[in-house]
Amino acid sequence: MEKSLGIYIHIPFCRSRCLYCDFYSTTGRENDMTRYEAALRRHIREYAPQLDGYVIDTVYFGGGTPSCFGASRLISVFDELKRSGHVSIDAEVTVEANPESVDKAEFIRLHRAGFNRVSLGVQASSDKALRELGRVHSFNDASNAVEIARSAGFLNISVDMMYGLPNQSNEDWSNALMAAVGLKPDHISCYGLKIEEGTPFYIFRDSPFLPDDDKQADMYLYAVDVLSRFGYKQYEVSNFARRGRESRHNSKYWTGGEYIGFGASAHSYIGSVRYAAFSDIDRYMDGVEGGGGVVETSEEIEGFELAAEYLMLRLRTVDGVSEEEYYGIYKCGMKRVLELLESYEERGWAVYREGRWRFTPEGFLLSNTLIGEILDAQTRERRETLRPWQTAPVEDSDQTELFTTERRITGIVY
């Protein structure tokens, strides 16, 4: 039986840099788009023989701003992937877009070519807030973009929103959420603004104009409550969907599914190996064209690390974790982890239902800290259960690295 596989294609071009963004993308490199498209196609073509045994059931064009790349290039890259003969007829095919680069004729072409999901960066409903974030579109542009996507035939539309913005009040966030709901998308992602080192926003890291942690927490819990009232069920820390509209592609990241990334800075996880391509468009194109390879980092994930990833990723979802699944991966119990989860249950941060542990919204809010504690408990348990002849030292779990890797993979800030 064929195994399911996701494909991620990174398009590292943006019209301008948003002031908070630390994702890999470039500006002013339009002249390199044709070369980049050729490099992506060649990379896919050369990789295709290794796809035997797999069926590609999700494809995700992310960025950057894929809608800046133009429909012709996106379609040509997707066609190359289709030529591999492994893309399922009912694959979920997502294109990320920003409102300023959404064009009806282009979207009609994308839809006809098989793209069937749009993820739109809306972020805020106030034009002032959008300007302060360095976004180059208005909320009206976002509203038009949703209409254009819908009239082009897209029936699965997601919008991204951000909270914890400078000077944002609870009322502002409530208005932004209602404006997002008013667009009637199928899926809404809500991310808290995170001030990243190296971004222009970093100088505001200690600013009193930024909502503090408590205020951000209130905004998050408010979003969980309001969105559920409007039919958007939370299925992951930051993601909410109407029934059946959960992102199939992103769910692979959270459930240990396999995926291959093409493009600069794209991540892959296949077999038990996780690897990342150069976060540099020139090194990526040179690597493909010269045959010298594009992999910047690579690591084998197995045994204990695989079990740690299971805990770390699954606890981000409302499905949570089960002892049985954990045992299936690691062939070892999770006594210490269960003790911790029970203590979280007493504090209202976790619940146990039908054989599975999951975080409550209050637990999701603290998930970085709680998952860190869980990974430490798991490491302690491993130490305790080592037999005398198992002399290999057990190092402390490197949560920083795990979180860094995961955040890059999912492109999520929370």
Burial of 35 (0-12, 13-18, 19+ CB in 10 A): middle
The two three-digit tokens of residue 151, written as one number: 């009239």
Q: Which C-beta is closer to ligand SF4: that of 63 or that of 211?
A: 63
Q: Does 361 bind ligand SF4 (CB under 6 A)?
A: no
Q: Does residue 65 touch ligand SF4 according to CB under 6 A?
A: yes
Phi and psi at residue 118, to the nearest 5°: -120, 135
Q: Does residue 165 interact with ligand SF4 by CB under 6 A? A: no
Supply the minimum distance, in Å, between the C-beta of residue 190 and ligand SF4. Answer: 15
Instruction: Return d(Cα 215, Cα 365) in angstroms, integer.
Output: 12
The interface with ligand SF4 within residues 34-63 (CB under 6 A) comprises 63
* Closest alpha carbon to 315 in 337, 336, 297, 291: 337
Beta strands 117-123; 87-97: pairing state: parallel
- Contact track, ligand SF4, 117-156, x by CB under 6 A: ----x-----------------------------------
Q: Which stretch binds ligand SF4 (CB under 6 A): 17-25, 86-94, 243-251, 353-361?
A: 17-25
Binding status of residue 98 toward ligand SF4 by CB under 6 A: yes
Phi and psi, residue 336, nearest 5°: -65, -40
d(CA 111, CA 105): 10
Beta carbon of residue 21, minimum distance to ligand SF4 (angstroms, whole number): 3
Residue choice 4, 17, 230, 380 for contact with ligand SF4 (CB under 6 A):
17
Q: Is 411 in the site for ligand SF4 (CB under 6 A)?
A: no
Give dist(CA 366, CA 221) in Å, integer: 12
Q: Which is nearer to ligand SF4, 63 or 320 (CB)?
A: 63
263 binding ligand SF4? (CB under 6 A): no
Question: C-alpha angle with apex 408: 403 to 414, nearest 5 degrees?
Answer: 65
Is there binding between residue 251 and ligand SF4 (CB under 6 A)?
A: no
From the list 18-26, 181-189, 217-225, 312-320, the region that binds ligand SF4 by CB under 6 A is 18-26
Cis before 114? omega within 30: no
Interacting residues toward ligand SF4 by CB under 6 A: 14, 17-18, 21, 23, 25, 63-65, 98, 121
